[in-house]
Amino acid sequence: RINRSKYRFHSAFGDMAAKISLPPDKVDQLVKACMKAKDAAYAPYSNFPVGAALMSTDGRIFTGCNVENAAYPLGICAERCAMAKAVSEGCRKFLAIAVSTNVDDFVSPCGSCRQVLAEFGDFHVILTKPDLSHKILTVVELLPHSFSSKELNSVPERQ
């Protein structure tokens, strides 16, 4: 029998940080931070550097970049890199994440990253272009039907 009470699951829709308006100075701060993080990307195989900057609800910013590997599945995306840094520092609540690439269009997080972001609630996702223009969405807009603790908690206990 699995004792689910010892596991702390986060609801994909539990935090509603996305309903809090993002001040323009915070948006600018995140856009600049993700652009700088992109410069650290290790992308020798795809030549597709990505940077991310994740802001916790207490205002801390955690940056990440994609880190590729010759064994392709072992690479990590910028968004998950930033999230891992934040979680390893004890953060669990977020206001926004900004993502940057060198593409002259808005590029959104991949499906795996969307699911990882959804694990920590609904918050702002700022998609950027190299010219610093940006578009603001939410995690729920990017992944409206995420898998969450709700599904895990609805599984009947084994007898």
Q: Which residues pair with 53 in a beta bridge?
A: 63, 98
DSSP letter at 104 equals S
Distance separating alpha carbons of residues 109 and 23, to the nearest angstrom:
22
CB-neighbour burial class of residue 57 (10 A; exposed 0-12, middle 13-18, buried 19+) = middle
What is the per-residue pLDDT across 85-123, written as a single tens digit (0 to 9) for each? 999 999 999 999 999 999 999 999 999 999 999 999 999
Per-residue pLDDT, 16: 54
What is the per-residue pLDDT across 9-64, written as a single tens digit (0 to 9) for each? 343 444 556 677 889 999 999 999 999 999 999 999 999 999 999 999 999 999 99
Strand pairing of 61-65 and 51-56? Answer: antiparallel
Per-residue pLDDT, 13: 42
> Active site residue: 68, 79, 89, 151, which one?
79
79 is catalytic: yes
